[in-house]
Structure 1
Amino acid sequence: MKKLFTNLTFWVLTAITLGVLLGHFAPQIALQKIMEEPFKMKLLGNEVSVGNTISEFLSGIFISVVKQFINPIIFLTITLGIVSMGNLKKVGKVGGKALLYFEIVTTLALLVGIIVANVIRPGDGVVTDSIKGGDISKYTKSAETFSWLKFFMDNLTLQVLLFSIILGILLSNYERRHVIVAFFQKISRYVFKGLHWVMKFAPVGAFGGMAFTISKYGIQTLLPLAKLMGTVYVTMGIFVFGILTLILNYYKISLWRFLKYIREELLIVLGTSSSEAGLPSLMEKLEKMGCAKSVVGLVVPAGYSFNLDGTTIYLSMSVIFLAQVFNVSLSLAQIMTIIGILMVTSKGAAGVTGSGFIVLASTLTAIKVIPVEGLALLLGVDRFMSEARAITNFIGNGVATIWIANNEKEFDREAMEKAFNLKA
């Protein structure tokens, strides 16, 4: 019993359950305003807003603090990794292999989403007049102004990734690099120690996130689009337990054991609807289970921007769903065009505010056969689908790192067995 009460997984799961109950039975408490304007604070020079209701505040504070660890951990992990690698050719090889992997797997995710949406046809019979829409102007406007330069300038993670690679290469050729490496290693220990303390508050963040979602949107919001919701979750399941299982089986690694190993992070991502909330811990656990520091440092940050399997599935299914709602019969050529456009536009999803809708708006605008106004149908249930997107993205990046580490012979199977057995 004592072990149960000191288990973070137990507390996060309990917090999610309590959040659902509070949001459903006492939404007025969860949405109680604690201030007139959303609370804003500055962390590491960045101003972040964490909402003005009780539930938003609890979730927002936790996610915002965890986010502050992402870039320092990426910087330290990748810089130390490249210095230890000491080979520019190898850095380029791992990076190139990661990008090729991302493109292949996200294309598979696109195809899975389109096939399942065409088989189940969740958009058939949806009456658009009966569903209350929302304002989509901010998404269509952002889609019109999207550019890859803006994507890079707005994406601090990519900037840190590039800077860390350059610094790591420069340090590799520095004679007294061992002094700087020792300094960075010392900082790294303190950063991870701080992260461990913050993660103790994960149940608070998960409670607030789930209470906010249920209280604001209500379970009744799901009923008109329940078929779409179910189809999205089924498709994510097919992708994770089908394609990702096969990818890990190539190196005789059990996906199920890996999921058990990262179960605490998965619950945190579920409760907060944010893959960022578990990203620093994922990087640490991947190292502990045998992935080389250099591979983790390169693949996870790049995957966070370019390997969004869950988001890709959601985008492809949403396009087909809206086509079915508006009785737009898509030819094979048009479906191939959608796949081609999404292969490009989905890669910008992580660096833009309101990412999914902005990318979706830009895709609908490009194909010019499905009304962009259909986005309003998805606003009410998007928050409920964000959990599936975040978890699938999260698992996908973990699997990508393990596969590439094995492919590069930078994986310690003994460390994996030790880590898996400790978390069993």
Structure 2
Amino acid sequence: MEIQTDTQSEHSKKPQKFYQVLYVQVIAAIVLGILLGHFYPDVGTSLKPLGDAFIKLVKMIIAPVIFLTVVTGISGMTHMTSVGRVAGKAMLYFLTFSTLALIVGMTVANLVQPGKGLNIDPATLKTDKITEYAEKAHDASIVDFLMNILPTTLASPLTSGDILQVLFVAVLFGLSLASIGEKGKPIIDFLNHLTAPIFHLVGMLMKFAPIGAFGAMAFTIGKYGIDSIGNLFMLILTFYFTALLFVLVILGAVARYNGFSIIDLIRYIKDELWLVLGTSSSEAALPSLMRKMEKAGCEKSVVGLVVPTGYSFNLDGTNIYMTMAALFIAQACNIDLNLQDQILLLLVAMISSKGAAGVTGAGFITLAATLSVVPAVPVAGMALILGIDRFMSECRALTNFVGNACATIVVARWDNALNKEQLDRTLKKHQSIPQD
């Protein structure tokens, strides 16, 4: 099982049985969840706690994983300027590819026009359900977002679970440990030893992944039903196609330029991708992604900075969704957006996507924030896609996840913090079905 700890994999050389492989278990759980939710929707809906419980279990361990990875990584750096350099390169990467994702979403939406022909009158749309998202979007200013990075106390991020607050405290604590030299060595040794049981716990929790995926998928299909896709199927299909195009072409090109294959990377993290698909939450696979990026040859300090930050700032899938959904609403309501309107939409989306970063339901919230500033497209039009948003969230999460894995390797290479031989060996090893 790839997500299990290193100790387990080292001590267990015999090949796994087919049914023991994690991604096989998760696939089976997803299929069973879909069937149960479709044929017994009431039973499927009642299984929501299974998915919620698994995600809560994983979120329980996210803060310690990030804290330990970042602190032990930074405290081992010989030059403190390395932290700022890595962070700067990561933000440059995030800004570049987030913008590309927005442009790709807008381009495909203009070419395919998935909303054309629906002829919806915005006045007939019910806006009650949209109010909650609009209020959150109103509060999600960039200033508020930056202020929320600052924790109440030094320990509060470890209990609240806010990823950026944990990252902020971990960076400061890591820098402090590195600055005091030999006095900090006992603490660094203790934290390094603590890392082993924490990641072993991650492996233990991942055994419950199939149960979580089963419950989450049964709930989704049971509550929303496959029939709810209806005439919005074209939008879903276009979105999934665009996300795949972005991953294979754009991320594929940057991966090839940096000496690895995006297909090999996807194979390497396939366990996590199936988990993300089953739970609609990329956070469910965050701890194991950090571990795998280290095993692939990325230095711990880079992994600790890039992966958690990317979960808030490198949302390629969410950005594709934003521009595509906005244009879909305009097309469905027969609103003709000229080039100037679309450029304004793009610019506003670039800003709003950073303001609501890290907020639960960020995809819908950032869309609400964008439409509230662009008067040409009615916010009420979000009611059109509210019913199918759950079916699109999986694709958003998958694209975001692959984007962050790719970003980690690229930034590590830019900063000479990548063991290229180890990366090649690790990715090639996973071109076939794993037997570790």
TM-score between both structures, scaled by the size of structure 1 = 0.91
Aligned counterpart, 1:142: 136
* Aligned partners of 1:306 and 1:348 also within 8 Å: no
Give the C-alpha shift of residue 355 in structure 1: 1.9
Aligned counterpart, 2:98: 106
Q: After the TM superposition, which of the residue ranges 330-339 and 197-206 deviates more from structure 2?
A: 330-339
User: 2: CA distance between counterparts of 1:90 and 1:21?
Assistant: 51
Name the SS for the 1:351 alignment partner.
coil
User: 1: CA distance between counterparts of 2:147 and 2:391?
Assistant: 29
User: 1: CA distance between counterparts of 2:16 and 2:285?
Assistant: 25
CA deviations on 1:302-321 (whole Å, 9 max, x unpaired) are 11110000000000101111
Name the SS for the 1:230 alignment partner.
helix
Aligned counterpart, 1:56: 48
User: 1: CA distance between counterparts of 2:230 and 2:131?
Assistant: 25
Equivalent residues in 2 for 1:372-391, closer than 5 Å: 372-391=379-398
Equivalent residues in 2 for 1:337-416, closer than 5 Å: 337-416=344-423
CA deviations on 1:32-54 (whole Å, 9 max, x unpaired) are xxxxxxxxxxxxxxxxxxxxx3x
Q: After the TM superposition, which of the residue ranges 410-419 and 347-356 deviates more from structure 2?
A: 347-356
Aligned counterpart, 2:163: 157
Give the C-alpha shift of residue 75 in structure 1: 0.8
Equivalent residues in 2 for 1:236-251, closer than 5 Å: 236-251=243-258
* Aligned partners of 1:154 and 1:352 also within 8 Å: no
Aligned counterpart, 1:39: none
Change (3 A) 1:369 1:132: closer
User: 1: CA distance between counterparts of 2:39 and 2:173?
Assistant: 53
Q: Are 1:173 and 2:179 counterparts?
A: yes
Give the C-alpha shift of residue 200 in structure 1: 0.7
CA deviations on 1:87-117 (whole Å, 9 max, x unpaired) are 2211111101110110000100000000000
User: 2: CA distance between counterparts of 1:18 and 1:275?
Assistant: 21
Aligned counterpart, 1:41: none
How many percent identity over aligned positions?
A: 47
Aligned counterpart, 1:82: 74
User: 2: CA distance between counterparts of 1:214 and 1:392?
Assistant: 21
User: 2: CA distance between counterparts of 1:105 and 1:419?
Assistant: 25
Q: After the TM superposition, which of the residue ranges 137-146 and 115-124 deviates more from structure 2?
A: 137-146
In structure 2, which of residues 271, 287, 311 is the aligned counterpart of residue 304 of structure 1? 311
Give the C-alpha shift of residue 297 in structure 1: 0.4
User: 2: CA distance between counterparts of 1:79 and 1:376?
Assistant: 44
Q: Are 1:4 and 2:11 counterparts?
A: no
In structure 2, which of residues 181, 200, 204 is the aligned counterpart of residue 197 of structure 1? 204
CA deviations on 1:186-231 (whole Å, 9 max, x unpaired) are 1111110000000011000111111111110011111120110111
CA deviations on 1:155-184 (whole Å, 9 max, x unpaired) are 621111111111111111113222111100
Q: After the TM superposition, which of the residue ranges 142-151 and 313-322 deviates more from structure 2?
A: 142-151
* Aligned partners of 2:356 and 2:366 also within 8 Å: yes
User: 1: CA distance between counterparts of 2:238 and 2:63?
Assistant: 35
Equivalent residues in 2 for 1:200-211, closer than 5 Å: 200-211=207-218
- The RMSD of aligned alpha carbons is 1.7
Aligned counterpart, 1:15: 29
Aligned counterpart, 1:37: none
Change (3 A) 1:213 1:134: farther
User: Aligned partner of 1:96: which letter?
Assistant: G
* Aligned partners of 1:133 and 1:377 also within 8 Å: no
User: 2: CA distance between counterparts of 1:216 and 1:132?
Assistant: 20
CA deviations on 1:359-405 (whole Å, 9 max, x unpaired) are 11111110111111001111110000000000000000000000011
In structure 1, which of residues 221, 232, 235 is the aligned counterpart of residue 228 of structure 2? 221
Aligned counterpart, 1:73: 65
Extract unaligned runs of 5+ from structure 1: 32-52
User: Aligned partner of 2:111: which letter?
Assistant: V
CA deviations on 1:239-295 (whole Å, 9 max, x unpaired) are 000100001001220111111111000000000000000111000000000000000
Change (3 A) 1:255 1:408: same
Give the C-alpha shift of residue 152 in structure 1: 4.4
Q: After the TM superposition, which of the residue ranges 384-393 and 356-365 deviates more from structure 2?
A: 356-365
CA deviations on 1:109-146 (whole Å, 9 max, x unpaired) are 00000000000000101243799876111111222222
User: 2: CA distance between counterparts of 1:323 and 1:380?
Assistant: 17
Change (3 A) 1:11 1:153: farther
Q: Are 1:419 and 2:426 counterparts?
A: yes
* Aligned partners of 1:152 and 1:159 also within 8 Å: no
User: 1: CA distance between counterparts of 2:241 and 2:327?
Assistant: 16
Q: Are 1:235 and 2:229 counterparts?
A: no
Q: Which has the higher contact order (CA 8 A, sep 6+)?
A: 2
* Aligned partners of 1:152 and 1:158 also within 8 Å: no
User: Aligned partner of 1:159: which letter?
Assistant: Q
User: 2: CA distance between counterparts of 1:224 and 1:92?
Assistant: 49
* Aligned partners of 1:152 and 1:351 also within 8 Å: no
* Aligned partners of 1:13 and 1:267 also within 8 Å: yes
Matched length: 402
Aligned counterpart, 1:48: none
Give the C-alpha shift of residue 4 in structure 1: 0.4
Give the C-alpha shift of residue 68 in structure 1: 1.4
Name the SS for the 1:418 alignment partner.
helix
User: Aligned partner of 1:22: which letter?
Assistant: L
* Aligned partners of 2:125 and 2:380 also within 8 Å: no
User: 2: CA distance between counterparts of 1:419 and 1:132?
Assistant: 52
Aligned counterpart, 1:182: 189
Name the SS for the 2:387 alignment partner.
helix
Aligned counterpart, 1:124: 116
In structure 2, which of residues 316, 320, 323 is the aligned counterpart of residue 313 of structure 1? 320
Give the C-alpha shift of residue 422 in structure 1: 4.0
